[in-house]
Structure 1
Amino acid sequence: MADLGMPSIDIIFTGLGASAVQRSQGGRTAVLIIKDDTDNTFTFNEYISIDDLTNLEQAKYTPGNLQFIKDALGGTPKKLVVARMDETLGVLADLLTDIKGKVEMNCWIGVADGTQQEQDDLVSFVTSNNELNKKRYKALVYKATSSDDKHIVNFTNEGEEGSIAYLLGYLAGLSLDISSIAKVLKMKSVIEPADLGVAINNGEFILYNDEGEVRVARGINSLVTTGQGVTDDMKFILIVEVMDMIYTDIYTTWKKFYKGKYKNSLDNQMLLIGAINSYFTALEDDLLLDRNFDNKSMIDVNEQRLANIPKYGETEVAKWDNDKVMEMTYGTNVFLTGNIKILNAMEDFKFKISM
């Protein structure tokens, strides 16, 4: 029996793993989870800047949580969503379910002053929803037990669990044309791990002291294991941010302007492909994609060929050339593939001088 299910779009990045840069300068949404019993009449509050924290708003939080909120806003995210749970009776899993129905699919999430179990639960929530529900959540966690995922940033400097709120806002507020190592952080000093290189290679997000300033040592997530379409490039936060922006842009455009509104003909598929390729060209102009690479989308001939076998038979389909396969669209499905090259920021420098 055919599996009809819900109409769907599945965009998979493998292998090469208004202006996009201008949009990204406004940052992404940050979701800060706090535990607070001061005012239990709300679950979510939204703030754009510290100016939104009127006396009435400040009265809703403990002094500690209010400082966390100010710290997060100091990183200039596009928007800060404060998600409140009861300090004693609150269940993080219930709040995370509410968050899923509240925030956009591409955002940063962190728990202020969370327990080890809460950090691990957030990791599970983000990884499962990204895989099963096609979300593009990113989590900043503190010393998670297990992560190894491109959407999990595992911060591990000793004694810095209170910095999650600030760093969450910082990462959500970064423009996509710079790396997280580019800016000096609003911190006096940190305790560094014994070996920065070992920690980084373990997928740990590390801060270090640099001549009286605190900086990010390497703009990486927790991804360690590569292979089967997962490359070393995907270990970098900046690369994943651009991937998620592209995914989100294509998904939302499809959902708003294409899904269910056009017949599934080759001509209409080519119009969609043309729109996506024009989008890639704009990203090249913004230096998010490498203009020296042939960034393009196309019909996934192999997938469409396989899809047609149950209806027409393997022997018949084997006779079709690629042009014929593209003409034989399949039901409501649009099978596309693509190749892109995302530009990373310059972080390493080697310069030899001979005298």
Structure 2
Amino acid sequence: MGLPSINIVFQTVADNSIKMSQKGVVGMILQDPIVEGAFTITKVSDMDTRFSEENKLYIERAFTGYINQPRSLVIYAIKVTGEPEEQFPSLKAGLDYMATQQIDYLVGPYTTNETQATEIKTWILERRKENTTPKAILPKLAADSEAIINFSTDAITVGEKTYQANAFCSRIAGLIAGTPMTISCTYAPLTEVSNIERKNKSDMDTAIDNGEFILMHDGKKVKVARGVTSLKTIGEGKNEIFKKIKIVEALDMIRYDLATTIEDTYIGKFANSYDNKCLLLTAIKGYFLEMEAAGILQEGTSSVEIDLDAQTAFLKEKGTNVNEMDEQEIREADTEDKVFLKATVKVLDAIEEVSLNVAV
């Protein structure tokens, strides 16, 4: 029979459906000539001073954040011989460790190449099939997934140094992890950056539509052009909203919270009666109301109920003559160890476009 399963499927009907994970934790896999193993740090001064200078800077960039700093950095260092810039080992050991941690955003080494980025992408997509919600910031990888941010800006100048996209992924991860869920990271300034590889408006629009997370220079400062994921293909339960990091974060958060709460509080602890199903419905509705009050979900749009279609299909499969039952009888019917629910929510987006007509 296996473990009791939670199959909370959030599909977008006219808007979207949901998900949740704890915000603010960045996972980081490093390659270092001296340091190896796992570390969790909450500030720059916690880091192992034996890390290479480039790794120290990579860690520092993650802690720059945005409105807030990341809550913590979960680091796994892989020891390499020779120059890290010339070594591209498998990241499996680091990924295996990250599978035991609750992280929001994962980045590879500051030298991440396409092979390593693809390895991380594959791991992320597999993990998300298991009711976990990690996402990754990867350099120049067109993943076509809401769980991957495709960071593609090069020639990033900070002081006397110039970085390519792979070396700046930690900065982007920290920035997104430090963005409150009630706002987006669109137009977030990177005050330490003096210049970047610049694009004209048409090229920036094309890049964003292509699922690229890019930086822009507005003539005064460098900032995030738009907080988008790498998702391009619409369909199969995903609509345009899954292209926005803010929306995906909220959906991830809700999915994680509901899955873990149901697992910890309900599974195996209640008889599967109609009354106990109603208790679960009430608890989930209360959770949605809290999300509405926090400004994450739109007020008055959340609902959760017994999924009549799924429950009817189950009863038919078990040989029950549902044609002689009304809807309430179907709701109250014995479904053995299964609970069929469906929910509808609307995540509040951030203001990102303003049209202003001035009459004179």
State TM-score, norm by structure 1: 0.89
Among 24, 33, 45, the residue aligned to 1:51: 45
Distance 1:192 1:120 in 2: 26
Trace 1:178-189 onto structure 2 (pairs within 5 A). Answer: 178-185=183-190, 186-189=192-195
Task: Please name the residue that 1:98 is paired with.
Answer: 97
Segments ≥4 residues shifted beyond 6 Å: none
Q: Report the more deviating stretch, 232-241 or 279-288.
A: 279-288
Distance 2:337 2:71 in 1: 36
The structure that is helix-richer by fraction is 1
Q: Is 1:301–1:322's contact at 8 Å kept on the other side of the alignment?
A: yes
Q: Is 1:304–1:329's contact at 8 Å kept on the other side of the alignment?
A: no
Task: Please name the residue that 2:140 is paired with.
Answer: 143
Q: Is 1:34–1:82's contact at 8 Å kept on the other side of the alignment?
A: yes
Counterparts in 2 of 1:193 and 1:12: CA distance versus 1, 3 Å? farther
Q: Is 2:131–2:256's contact at 8 Å kept on the other side of the alignment?
A: no
Task: Please name the residue that 1:20 is paired with.
Answer: none
Distance 2:64 2:146 in 1: 25
Q: Is 2:189–2:222's contact at 8 Å kept on the other side of the alignment?
A: yes
SS of equivalent to 2:149: strand
1:198 equivalenced with 2:195 (yes/no): no
1:109 equivalenced with 2:115 (yes/no): no
Distance 1:39 1:218 in 2: 36
Aligned residues: 333
Highest relative contact order (Cα 8 Å, sep 6+), 1 or 2? 2
Q: Is 2:187–2:225's contact at 8 Å kept on the other side of the alignment?
A: no
Q: Is 2:35–2:77's contact at 8 Å kept on the other side of the alignment?
A: no
Trace 1:1-355 onto structure 2 (pairs within 5 A). Answer: 4-15=1-12, 16-17=15-16, 27-40=23-36, 43-53=37-47, 57-59=48-50, 61-75=51-65, 76-88=69-81, 90-101=89-100, 103-104=101-102, 107-112=104-109, 113-131=111-129, 133-144=130-141, 146-158=142-154, 159-185=164-190, 186-193=192-199, 195-291=203-299, 293-313=300-320, 316-355=321-360
Q: Is 1:219–1:237's contact at 8 Å kept on the other side of the alignment?
A: yes
Partner amino acid, structure 2, of 1:175:
P
Percent same amino acid among aligned pairs? Answer: 28
Q: Report the more deviating stretch, 80-89 or 336-345.
A: 80-89
Partner amino acid, structure 2, of 1:58:
T
Q: Is 1:142–1:161's contact at 8 Å kept on the other side of the alignment?
A: yes
Q: Cα distance, 1:11 vs. partner?
A: 1.5
Q: Cα distance, 1:312 vs. partner?
A: 2.2
State TM-score, norm by structure 2: 0.88
Q: Cα distance, 1:214 vs. partner?
A: 1.1
Distance 2:126 2:35 in 1: 31
Distance 2:304 2:92 in 1: 38
Q: Is 1:193–1:199's contact at 8 Å kept on the other side of the alignment?
A: no
SS of equivalent to 2:318: helix
Distance 1:87 1:164 in 2: 21
Distance 1:140 1:243 in 2: 18
